[in-house]
Structure 1
């Protein structure tokens, strides 16, 4: 079933390719009936809308974890800095207003629980089992490892762990996400299910 929303999702700021988005939607639809979903790294909400649309169909919710002040590469003077998302008055990169506007326009606010804090803070007292976790947060090794360690343990058996920006070669992109992907596989707790572009999908055994 194709995704139909009252918003031009291709116009939303973000770094999710079309084939990756379709795969994310597919697995979200598979899992949303089994429990809540969670993503780390919402940015302006492009991936959130795909997850939330699946949750609407199943009557579930997606927890959207993001401090909304951008990763290292989004800061002033860095490669992926977007001046339209920079709050010059406060001197911070800020994606939260854009994120909320996109949820409202898409009519999906009732299916998203924004958690505006780092993974470590959100996970500190977390007890809810999750049906799917999508990791697309900071790309430093420290940040990527923290996201994995905070949330992978909360996946139900049979649940999906999806990790974005897997680049086998350093010249293609940062190596932290694929290092975490390999760590998950080596743990013996996950099996590989699918690779679509730079999106890796694992299932909790």
Structure 2
């Protein structure tokens, strides 16, 4: 079963993942039929990493988070989700890594969460381990969303789960880049859809 302590920590952690979607993500990670690490692209302050950790601990596997920790477009000055407390005054740039580390440490999850500070496309080039679950929740521009799918989907094991967050079919509800890569993945014929939750879509890689 999912770790109740880590589920509680995830629900209480700062971030934008609704609890019902986070629990659905954790459940998908717990029940996936293949072995391997769980990898997320885009970590912010660690909330979704804790939902994945709630599944990783009982599975005896690892959550790998990949984020440059300089924030997405919407976190920059003048954008909707800008938080001035996250700006490193020494360099004048967003730095979410200290907050991420506090979130993971406070939850007691440092044993199951491995943080990689890098651009996702750079790290993908040197990654070789088949993934049980791939969670795409990075920058939501079309270019970066397509790049994340192209670079990381080949690392997902057959039988593994591709999870995509912030999928909104109606443009009035949110940006369309995650929805478009969700459609792109389905159009390949390599995936079948699993029950999702809210804006979270779950796809199983069939071949």
TM-score (norm 2): 0.94
- The number of residue pairs the alignment matches comes to 205
Q: CA deviation at 1:9?
A: 3.2
TM-fit CA distance, 1:31 = 3.0
Contact 2:142–2:177, Cα closer than 8 Å, also in 1: yes
CA 12–32 in structure 1, closer or farther in 2 if over 3 Å, else same: farther
Q: CA deviation at 1:59?
A: 1.3
* Alpha-carbon distance between aligned partners in 2 of 1:24 and 1:32, rounded to the nearest angstrom: 14
**Structure 1: gaps of 5 or more residues:** none
Contact 2:33 2:160 in 1 (8 A): no
CA-CA distance at 1:170 after TM superposition? 1.2
Cα distance per residue 1:33-58 (max 9 Å; x no partner) = 71111000111000001111211112
Query: What is the root-mean-square deviation of aligned Cα atoms in Å?
Result: 1.6
The change in CA–CA distance for 1:63 and 1:6 in structure 2 (over 3 A counts) is: closer
Q: Does 1:73 align with 2:74?
A: yes
1:61-119: CA deviation from partner (whole Å, max 9, x where unpaired): 01101100100010011111112212233211111001011111111111111111111
Please give the alpha-carbon distance, in whole angstroms, between the structure 2 residues aligned to 1:176 and 1:7: 30
Cross-structure match for 1:11: 12
Distance 1:164 1:98 in 2: 21
Structure 2 partner of 1:37:
38
Structure 2: runs of 5 or more not aligned: none
Contact map agreement 1:32 1:55 (CA 8 A) in 2: no
Measure how far apart 1:8 and its partner are. Answer: 4.3
**1:11 to 1:85, Cα distance in 2 relative to 1, 3 A:** farther
Residue aligning to 2:144 = 143
Matched, 1:59 2:66: no
SS at match of 2:146: helix
Write the distance in 2 (CA, Å) between the matches of 1:33 and 1:106: 26
**What does residue 204 of structure 2 align with?**
203
1:108 matched to which residue of 2? 109
* In structure 2, distance between residues paired with 1:26 and 1:10: 14
Contact 1:32 1:60 in 2 (8 A): no
Contact map agreement 1:37 1:62 (CA 8 A) in 2: yes
Q: Indicate if the aligned counterparts of 1:6 and 1:107 stay in contact, CA closer than 8 A.
A: no
Asked if 1:165 is matched to 2:166, the reply is yes
Q: Which runs of 4+ in 1 moved over 6 A?
A: none
Structure 1 range deviating more: 77-86 or 140-149: 77-86
